[in-house]
Amino acid sequence: MKKNIFKRLFIKISKMLGYEIIDQTEFISPTLEKKLNDDLSIINDKSIVLPLGEVKITRKIKSVLIILRINTEIEIWDQNKKRLFELPKIEYTLRSLNSLIKSINFSKIKYPKINFKTIIVEDNSKKENILRINDLITKNNIDIDIIKLNHKNYNGVIKKQKSEQTFSNLSSLLKSYEIAKEQSDDLVFFVEDDYLHFEPMMEEMIASYERISSQLKKELFICPTDYPYLYMNNQKANILIGNKRHWRTVDRTLCTFMTSKIMIDKYWNNFYNNCLDRHDPFEKYLNEIYKKEFCISPLKSLSVHMTNINSSYGLSPFIDYKKIWDENLI
């Protein structure tokens, strides 16, 4: 009996002092009142990964602005190839949006104190496709603002391109960066409409961002996708521990990634200049940032880029593509 009283007193004092206790015999944490295979971390307070222990969160997340670029008329930018499953683009857009909504809602439940806002930059889709997108949003009872892109606003800003498709892509990209600069106050997730997301994607990105940023004492660029091209040149990388998976440092991204308002302001010229012309690679000025800042991607992937099966910028390895495709059928 004395032993139990002492144990309860010890647990109480430990909690008061901010320490966590691990009982490996019972496979529990009595201070957290959780089993050891539960999520032991507390958002904006501490990140706990066994057996590495606790990381005190100094980089607290207060909000996430999600900016989704949509074009349901162009199959693949600057290409004539077919995507995996070879269906019209609207099918990929709808499943992408559906998976994104699931991930946002999952994170809202996990992190009720973080403010989530979603904006769609819509690029001249057919009326019937816009109706289907609106129906999906209404069905899920989620607040999403839709901004219709006006290409004319970028005449004289973006260099005239060989194709209207390329000009359209650059215009929507610049519009999304302008929205982020004007409306964000913390994290921003830029995302395109041909990615399918696993439900924990947003949760893992937020929790890993705050953990790794707190450790490094730096803002980050963080991708949700493990691209094939990362394995094609035997590039060395640092491996980091995130919330529930490993992350690797990378020096290239596509246009789907998360970063902070701090980084957008700091590197605004890179964001802006990347949109003024078609570069080779397309993300030339973004990639220049990663020579100075940390950019990471997950092992394994949190999102799948649904391009054609042979693309080095597409399907992530070790993913059941058919399963995630079918799970997001509208």
Span 199-221, pLDDT tens digits: 999 999 999 999 999 999 999 99
Q: Are residues 206 and 258 in the same domain?
A: yes
Give the C-alpha separation, 175 to 153, whole Å.
Answer: 10
pLDDT at position 37 is 82
Q: Are residues 135 and 259 in the same domain?
A: yes
Q: Are residues 34 and 67 in the same domain?
A: no
Give the C-alpha separation, 133 to 125, whole Å.
Answer: 10
Poorest-confidence range of 6-20, 41-55, 308-322? 6-20
Instruction: Check if the beta carbon of residue 81 is closer than 8 Å to that of residue 304.
Output: no
In a domain, 52, yes or no: no
Residue 224 class from Cβ within 10 Å (0-12 exposed, 13-18 middle, 19+ buried)?
A: buried
Dihedrals phi, psi of 57, to nearest 5 degrees: -85, 115
pLDDT at position 233 is 87
pLDDT at 315 over 90: yes
Using left for φ > 0, alpha for ψ between -120 and 50, and beta otherwise, residue 318 falls in left
Q: Are residues 2 and 122 in the same domain?
A: no
- Tell me the residue length of the chain: 330
Q: Name the CA dihedral angle for 314, 315, 316, 321, rounded to a multiple of 10 degrees.
A: 160
Q: Are residues 138 and 235 in the same domain?
A: yes
pLDDT at position 31 is 77
pLDDT at 1 over 60: no
pLDDT at 228 over 80: yes
At 22, list the tokens: 């691990």
Residue 229 class from Cβ within 10 Å (0-12 exposed, 13-18 middle, 19+ buried)?
A: middle
Q: Cβ neighbours of residue 88 under 8 Å, at least 6 residues apart?
A: 75
| Nearest CA-CA partner of 97 in 62, 146, 63, 64 | 146
Band of residue 27 on the pLDDT scale cut at 50, 70, 90: confident
pLDDT at position 301 is 98
In a domain, 291, yes or no: yes
Please name the helix (run of DSSP H) or strand (run of DSSP E) that holds residue 271, with its range, or none.
Answer: helix 268-274
Q: Are residues 13 and 89 in the same domain?
A: no
Q: What percent of the chain has pLDDT over 70?
A: 93
Band of residue 33 on the pLDDT scale cut at 50, 70, 90: confident
Instruction: Check if the beta carbon of residue 120 is closer than 8 Å to that of residue 146.
Output: yes
In a domain, 43, yes or no: no
Tokens 């057919």 sit on residue: 126
Which residue range forms the structural domain that includes residue 5? 1-38
Q: Are residues 92 and 193 in the same domain?
A: yes
pLDDT tens, residue by residue, 246-288? 999 999 999 999 999 999 999 999 999 999 999 999 999 999 9
Band of residue 24 on the pLDDT scale cut at 50, 70, 90: confident
Q: Are residues 141 and 288 in the same domain?
A: yes
In a domain, 142, yes or no: yes
In a domain, 272, yes or no: yes
Q: Are residues 120 and 234 in the same domain?
A: yes
Please name the helix (run of DSSP H) or strand (run of DSSP E) that holds residue 167, with its range, or none.
Answer: helix 164-183
Q: Are residues 34 and 69 in the same domain?
A: no
In a domain, 55, yes or no: no
Q: Three-class SS string for 56-112?
A: ECCCCCCEEEEEEEECCCCCCCCCCCCCCCCCCHHHHHHHHHHHHHHHHHHHHHHCC
In a domain, 280, yes or no: yes
In a domain, 57, yes or no: no
pLDDT at 197 over 90: yes
Q: Are residues 91 and 141 in the same domain?
A: yes
pLDDT tens, residue by residue, 87-145? 999 999 999 999 999 999 999 999 999 999 999 999 989 999 999 999 999 999 999 99
Structurally, the chain folds into a number of domains equal to 2
pLDDT at 54 over 60: yes
Band of residue 182 on the pLDDT scale cut at 50, 70, 90: very high
- 3-class state of residue 298 by DSSP: strand
What CATH number is associated with residue 106?
A: 3.90.550.10
Q: Are residues 78 and 17 in the same domain?
A: no
In sequence order, the β-bridge partners of residue 67 are 119, 190
Work out the mean pLDDT of the chain and round it to a whole number: 92
pLDDT at position 56 is 96
pLDDT at position 9 is 60
